[in-house]
């Protein structure tokens, strides 16, 4: 048995935060029923690239779920949804605040149908507050939370992050954590819960160090001025002579001293001013190829890594040995693609290596009749 066997989740969400949340729940054994618009379904179904006729993005995020279609504004469909709600354990939705209530599916409405429901609302700015009704995406949440102010290019301009940090680390992951906590609390008191997951709020947790510096010592972090924003020679990206890059993070003295000794700059080990140290190390490292330096660092604890392209990173023997990419997902036509790795321990995940992604409305007859 899996940890969430017998837990029924109704998923009203689209795109990324909610579907990622319910993917993790499905991988741990929950029965996830995705409720989609007739005709078009989840917006992600239309995304490129495709595997066969299906969106790869949709397939990766919706493996192992079921799909039904329903017009939430039509009486008969709404009645069928309410019948499902009566038997469900969890609802996940990510509409703007108030939308589900206007449909008659708000938390108070649902509690009248199912007084033990765990109702998880994922939004950018939460269920209340001046920004709660503002349209926004991941980049906006990072901007409002101050995260983008800490990124910079060589000219000091904020840069666009490669990860959807708010959607995932601020939305999907906290949603899963709080759903599991709510289910455990319900075991103790039998009560329903409305979980208000605000992606922008949760970004502050990821900047704990900056908040600590600012709130405790009024040393608010600056672009390129702090340990993890490029201000230190000990936590830096350096270019090699062949145009490749090394990620160097010998923060602790034991690593730092070894690193400097290996590149013949041991005299810098006690230098306190970082700017000239960074420049000296940069000049040293760009005098030789990446292969040269990797050979020099081999077998030594110096916290130095080659910056690998994503395409080669997935073939790294370490990740291959750990089976990170040993699962597959099949589309509605039976074609397969490597499944998205998820942070669920293998012991809690399905024993089958391939699971399907549902066609739009594939399970209407089975679930609704």
Q: Give mean pLDDT, residues 317-344.
A: 94
Quote the CA–CA distance of 99 and 162 in Å, as a whole number. Answer: 31
CATH number of 227-239+245-306, picked from 3.40.190.150, 3.30.1540.10, 3.40.50.1000, 3.40.50.620? 3.30.1540.10
- Reported as a pLDDT band with limits 50, 70 and 90, residue 333 is confident
Q: Where are the beta strands (DSSP E) in the chain?
A: 8-11, 31-36, 50-51, 54-55, 66-69, 90-93, 118-123, 193-198, 236-239, 245-248, 304-306, 328-330, 336-338, 354-356
Please tell me the predicted confidence (pLDDT) of residue 154: 81
The mean predicted confidence, pLDDT, of the chain is: 96
The residues, any chain, with a CB within 8 Å of residue 242's CB and separated by 6 or more, are 289, 290, 291
- Structural domain boundaries in the chain: 8-205+322-367, 227-239+245-306
Q: Is 90 exceeded by the pLDDT of residue 122?
A: yes
pLDDT tens column, 103-119: 999 999 999 999 999 99
Weakest mean pLDDT among 35-44, 66-75, 93-102, 350-359: 350-359
Q: Is 90 exceeded by the pLDDT of residue 153?
A: no
pLDDT tens column, 45-93: 999 999 998 999 999 999 999 999 999 999 999 999 999 999 999 999 9
Task: Quote helix, strand, coil % in the chain, to nearest 5.
Answer: 40, 15, 45
| pTM given for the model | 0.95
Quote the CA–CA distance of 337 and 292 in Å, as a whole number. Answer: 36
167 classed as catalytic = yes
Q: Among residues 167, 196, 201, 264, which one is catalytic? A: 167
The topology under which CATH files domain 8-205+322-367 is Rossmann fold (3.40.50)
Q: Is 90 exceeded by the pLDDT of residue 303?
A: yes
Q: Is 90 exceeded by the pLDDT of residue 42?
A: yes
Q: Give mean pLDDT, residues 285-306.
A: 98
């Amino acid at each position: 048995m899996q940890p969430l066997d017998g837990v029924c989740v109704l998923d009203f969400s689209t795109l990324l935060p909610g579907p990622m949340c319910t993917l993790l729940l499905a991988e741990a054994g929950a029965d996830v029923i995705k409720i989609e618009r007739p005709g078009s379904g989840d917006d992600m179904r239309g995304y490129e690239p495709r595997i066969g006729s299906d969106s790869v993005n949709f397939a990766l995020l919706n493996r192992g779920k079921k799909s039904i279609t329903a017009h939430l504004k039509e009486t008969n469909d709404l009645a069928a949804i309410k019948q499902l709600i009566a038997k469900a354990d969890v609802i996940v939705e990510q509409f703007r605040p108030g939308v589900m209530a206007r449909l008659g599916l708000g938390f108070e409405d649902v509690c009248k149908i199912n007084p033990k429901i765990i109702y998880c609302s994922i939004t950018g700015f939460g269920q209340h507050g001046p920004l709660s009704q503002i349209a926004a995406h991941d980049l906006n949440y990072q901007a409002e939370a101050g995260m983008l102010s800490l990124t910079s290019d060589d000219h000091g301009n904020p840069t666009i992050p490669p990860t959807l940090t708010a959607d995932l680390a601020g939305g999907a992951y906290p949603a899963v954590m709080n759903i599991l906590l709510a289910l455990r609390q319900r075991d103790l008191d039998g009560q329903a819960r409305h979980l208000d997951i605000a992606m922008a709020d949760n970004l502050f947790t990821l900047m704990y160090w900056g908040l600590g510096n600012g709130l405790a010592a009024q040393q608010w972090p600056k672009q390129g001025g702090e340990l993890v924003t490029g201000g230190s020679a000990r936590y830096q990206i350096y270019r090699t002579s062949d145009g490749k890059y090394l990620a160097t993070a010998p923060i602790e003295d034991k690593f730092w001293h070894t690193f400097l000794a290996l590149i013949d700059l041991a005299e810098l080990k006690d230098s306190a001013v970082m700017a000239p140290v960074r420049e000296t190390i940069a000049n040293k490292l760009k005098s030789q190829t990446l292969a040269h330096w990797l050979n020099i660092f081999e077998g030594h604890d110096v916290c130095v890594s080659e910056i690998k392209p994503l395409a080669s990173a997935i073939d790294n023997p370490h990740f291959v040995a750990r089976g990170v990419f040993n699962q597959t997902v099949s589309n509605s036509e039976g074609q397969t693609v490597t499944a998205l790795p998820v942070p669920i321990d293998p012991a809690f995940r399905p024993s089958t290596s391939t699971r399907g992604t549902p066609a739009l409305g594939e399970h209407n007859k089975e679930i609704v009749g």
